[in-house]
Amino acid sequence: MGLFDTLNSGATGLGAAGLGLAVIGDNIANLNTTAFKRSRTAFADMMPSTIGTLAGPGGVGRGVRTAAMVTEFETGSLKRTGSALDVAIGGAGWFQVNDGRQDMYTRDGSFRLDTDNYVVTSQGQRVQGFIAEDGVIGPLLGDLQIDPNRVPQKETSQINLAANLVDPDPSALTTNVLQGYAGSLDGNTVSINQLSAEADHSTSLTVYDSLGRPRDAVMIFEMTGQTGTVTDWEYTVVVDGGEVDNGGTMGTDGMAFEIMSGSLEFDSGDLTVTQNAATTGWNWPGATDFAPALNLDEMTYAGGDAFSVRAVSQDGYAVGDLVRLNIDAKGRISGQYTNGQEAVLGQFALATFKAESGLRRLGGNNFGASLESGEPAVSAAGTGTRGELTGYALEGSNVVLEDEFVNMIQVQRTYQANASVISTVDETLQALVNLV
């Protein structure tokens, strides 16, 4: 092996060291790049030259070459943000995005909505996911789009009340308010305040008509008799007569209009019989007839100092505007509305590969599939080996600055050493020339 071969070996060393510095510089430059995956260089020796020795043929290497550029795919640290569409993957998986020409894959979950309400990356690529229809996630994969429309109103069709009735004043058995006002709860005769004050127990609740307007109702309970362990109660539900259209005639503001009534029977404190009386047709102006079902199965009659309501609910609501998005661990995007409702609007999809090391770096935090990586397997987060998602968070770069500085020092010394080899060979060649 001659001196010129040694020069070439030193030159390959300089090239390898220079490439190593370039990779380290790229890693450091992307220290704060969302979900950046650091790289490292892998080197291999070049085919040696065969020379003869007393011990037989030997080989002297011709220098170094780059064997591979290896991307390290371990997960970066989690960083909290203030945007619901900032999404971090906690484990394996890639978001699939499309620029209109090809599918690409990224761990950068800094998404936003474009003017057409598609979920897009910071570069405008559309994120792929499973589409929701009427709150149900479908199996089709496509451009993920959020429906910003209002949730329409819903009329109350079911009222549930769970309360505990207690013994009223002893005069209750001789003065039955509901029987005394029978036929008078017509929206013009008895005020709601008067009825509530004279009754044994009362509680208020809000219901919604077919136009989504909230309406106040008052439920009245009156003890009617007691025989041994059996206790009888009657109830009525009244609304403001001034808001009621009863056959084309409006009642009087503040007066009680009965919309439903019935009776309850308790044996040893447990509800045994419930009877609901039929009501005549009526409605609130502009709305359809109001006839919800009333569930009192959880009512009790037991000890206690005061009437208490354990739970009250109904299934109606007003029109709701979208005010907030949430993303759960499975990648489901849900919308929260001003009326308290929540609806599923779509779901992120995650891709996995047989060999992540075969992914091609495309720039812009994107990678592309290749023959080496295999085709993507796409499904929901948290399935198979796929990690779960975290909203209001982003994955940070996996570059460790301390490690890069150590590597940089090592590569710098390698460069200096190879430069010294070239310098030494140059001096030797000069001495050889001087001999001529």
My answer on whether 183 and 194 are in the same domain is yes
Q: Look at the chain and report how many structural domains it folds into.
A: 3
Domain boundary among 288, 314, 340: 314
My answer on whether 31 and 20 are in the same domain is yes
My answer on whether 247 and 111 are in the same domain is no
Domain boundary among 287, 314, 341: 314
Asked if residue 323 is part of any domain, the answer here is: no
My answer on whether 375 and 417 are in the same domain is no
Structural domain range at position 364: 80-146+329-395
**Has this prediction a pTM greater than 0.85?**
no
My answer on whether 385 and 428 are in the same domain is no
**309: CATH:** 2.60.98.20
Per residue of the chain (436 residues), what is the pLDDT tens digit? 566 666 677 677 777 878 888 899 999 999 999 999 999 888 777 666 656 556 656 556 677 777 778 889 999 999 999 999 999 999 999 999 999 999 999 999 999 999 999 999 999 999 999 999 888 999 999 999 998 888 999 999 999 999 999 988 665 455 688 888 888 898 899 999 999 998 999 999 999 999 999 999 999 999 988 888 899 999 999 999 999 987 778 889 999 999 999 999 999 888 998 888 766 678 899 899 898 999 999 999 987 778 999 999 999 999 999 999 999 999 999 999 999 999 999 999 999 999 999 999 999 999 999 999 999 999 999 999 999 999 999 999 999 999 989 988 988 888 788 777 777 776 677 777 777 6
Asked if residue 362 is part of any domain, the answer here is: yes
My answer on whether 174 and 129 are in the same domain is no
Residue 416: what pLDDT?
83
Residue 398: what pLDDT?
93
My answer on whether 222 and 307 are in the same domain is yes
Asked if residue 322 is part of any domain, the answer here is: no
Asked if residue 100 is part of any domain, the answer here is: yes
Residue 106: what pLDDT?
97
Long-range contacts of 213-221 (CB under 8 A, 24+ apart): 213/284, 213/287, 213/318, 214/318, 215/239, 215/243, 215/284, 216/240, 217/259, 218/192, 218/256, 219/161, 220/177, 220/178, 220/195, 220/196, 221/165, 221/307
CB count, 10 Å around CB of 210? Answer: 17
My answer on whether 390 and 407 are in the same domain is no
Asked if residue 102 is part of any domain, the answer here is: yes
Asked if residue 151 is part of any domain, the answer here is: no
Calculate the alpha carbon distances from 112 to 94, 121, 126, 141 in Å: 17, 6, 10, 19
The sign of the torsion formed by the CA atoms of 56, 60, 65, 67 equals: positive
My answer on whether 272 and 406 are in the same domain is no
My answer on whether 178 and 273 are in the same domain is yes
The sign of the torsion formed by the CA atoms of 298, 299, 304, 307 equals: positive
My answer on whether 361 and 339 are in the same domain is yes
Asked if residue 18 is part of any domain, the answer here is: yes
Domain boundary among 314, 346, 381: 314
My answer on whether 294 and 203 are in the same domain is yes
Residue 165: what pLDDT?
93
Asked if residue 189 is part of any domain, the answer here is: yes
